[in-house]
Amino acid sequence: MTTITHLTGGASLLSMQQEMNRMKTLADAPVLPSTTQALASHASETSFQEVMHAALNHIDRIQQAADAKQNAVDSGQSDDLVGAMLASQEAALSFSALVQVRNKVTSGINDLMSMSV
């Protein structure tokens, strides 16, 4: 008897090998669909332009709402100073995030343009 058979028994050695083969098959199988398949299925649904347009419209609505709240407080129609300040900060953060996205996109385009073919 070999050492492994002696320690594990004959039947359990076969089950161990089967379990190892099953684990190898699971490890070799893709966890998620490939990136190109996922991109191809989503590419027909939404374009980058649509996403950016929606983000710009959303940020514009946030800024308009903040401006309306601030004007209401300034004119005395509302006493919700805290709400106006929070809306103003939300608008400022949203715009700052938009500028950062623009800078990253511009940087990425510049990197692509500087690559040699």
Q: Each residue of 48-80: pLDDT tens digit?
A: 889 999 999 999 999 999 999 999 999 999 999
88 pLDDT more than 90: yes
Q: Which of 71, 70, 91, 100 is nearest to 82 (CA)?
A: 70
Question: In whole angstroms, what is the distance from residue 42 CA to residue 44 CA?
Answer: 5
Comparing 54 with 35, which gets the higher pLDDT?
54
Q: State percent of the chain over pLDDT 90.
A: 54
pLDDT of residue 28: 76
Q: Which of 115, 50, 63 is nearest to 89 (CA)?
A: 63
pLDDT of residue 1: 47
pLDDT of residue 117: 77
Looking at the chain, which runs of residues are DSSP E strands? none
- Structure token digits, residue 26: 């699971």
Determine how many CB atoms are found less than 10 A away from the CB of residue 90: 15
Q: Position 112: which residue type?
A: L
Question: In whole angstroms, what is the distance from residue 2 CA to residue 63 CA?
Answer: 77
Cα 24-27-33 angle, rounded to 5 deg: 140
Q: State percent of the chain over pLDDT 70.
A: 78
- Structure token digits, residue 29: 């199988």
Comparing 72 with 18, which gets the higher pLDDT?
72
